[in-house]
Every structure is written in C-alpha cells, then in structure tokens.
Amino acid sequence: MIDSQTHANILKRALAGDVQAFEKLVSHHYDMVYRCGYRLCGHREDGEDVAQEVFIKVADKLHLFNNKSSFSTWLYRIAVNTARDYLRKKSRAAEVPYENGVHGAQDITDNPGRYDALLKAVDKLSPKLRETVVLVYGEELGHKEAAEILGCAETTISWRIFKAKRKLRDLLS
C-alpha cells in the first residue's frame, strides 16, 4: 500500500505530467472507484464500466484538480456523477439490481435476512438518498466529506440521512 506521504508525492508528479506516477495513482485508486460504482449501480459490469469512465475523465481533467479537496474526495465526486449518468442512461435506477445478495459470515447471530432486505430497500431509495446512504454507510465517510462530494451543505446530508432512515424503516416494516 501507499502511505499518505508517498501518495502526495505521486499525485504531485502526476499533476506535473509524469506518466508513471499517473499510472500508479489510477492503479491505486481503481478498487475504490470500482467498489463505489458497484455499490451505486449493482452489477460487476456496471462497476467496471463506471470505473473505466471515471478514469478516462481523470486522464482528461487531472490538470483541473486543484488540491482544494482531497484527491479521493475529488475521485468520489467524479464516481458518483458518473454512476448517476450511467444509471440514467441505462434507466435501471428503479430496478433492484443486486445480483449477489448478501453472503454473511456464519458467526453473526442476528437475522441475516434482515440485512439482505435492508440493502434491497436502500436500492429503492431515490438517487439522492441512495448516494448519500452509500457514501455514509457503505464507504463510511463523514458527513462533511459526503457533503463535499455531493456538492451540498453538511446539514443537507444529515437531513437526507434522517429521511433515508425513515424511508428504510417504512420499507422494511
């Protein structure tokens, strides 16, 4: 893995146009972007498509990255937007897309079916709420970073989480 110092260094070199540094940078972040794409869109192929699109955009727009936010926040933002466009294009947003269901470890004592149902309910949320839930609970980001990624106020995130939970409870009961 790359520590933060090395990462900063690689990023700096990539910004200066160093091809090898760029390769390392994208290779390092691929899995994160793929995972985020997968969580938002639901299929392995979707995650791969989104990731490919994201990195094409990164290659094209890296020079516009200005260190105002962290690089991963910037990437997440591109990933969320790309996934949103992707879903809109495929107009699959309404479907429940998960192909894999939930495969839990055996030692968990509580009801595994409930988690399954919970994730299915997450997919039924509106795109905005779902993106928020995926970032906050799936990617486990803070409200502040999620707000930065989704381009809204921090309080909006809190409000969305509140609404999403209420909606999820309704869907589950």
Question: What is the contact surface with other proteins in residues (CB under 8 A)?
Answer: 1-2, 6, 9-10, 12-13, 15-20, 22-24, 26-28, 30-31, 34-35, 38-39, 44-45, 47-49, 51-52, 55-56, 58-60, 62-63, 89-92, 98, 100, 102-105, 108, 112, 115, 118-119, 122, 133-134, 137-138, 140, 165, 168-169, 172-173
Which of residues 48 and 152 has its CB atom nearest to other proteins in the complex?
A: 48
Smallest separation (angstroms) from other proteins to the CB of 62:
7
Q: Which of 137, 26, 128, 120 is nearest to 80 (CA)?
A: 128
Smallest separation (angstroms) from other proteins to the CB of 137:
4
Smallest separation (angstroms) from other proteins to the CB of 48:
4
Give the end-to-end CA distance of the chain in Å, rounded to a whole number.
43
Which of residues 151 and 169 has its CB atom nearest to other proteins in the complex?
A: 169
Residue 72 contacts residue 141 (beta carbons within 8 Å):
no
Which of residues 102 and 152 has its CB atom nearest to other proteins in the complex?
A: 102
Smallest separation (angstroms) from other proteins to the CB of 69:
20
Which of residues 44 and 144 has its CB atom nearest to other proteins in the complex?
A: 44
Rounded distance between C-alpha atoms, residue 149 and residue 147, angstroms: 5
Give residues with Cβ within 8 angstroms of 155, minimum separation 6. Answer: none
Which of residues 22 and 76 has its CB atom nearest to other proteins in the complex?
A: 22
50, burial (CB in 10 Å: exposed 0-12, middle 13-18, buried 19+)? buried
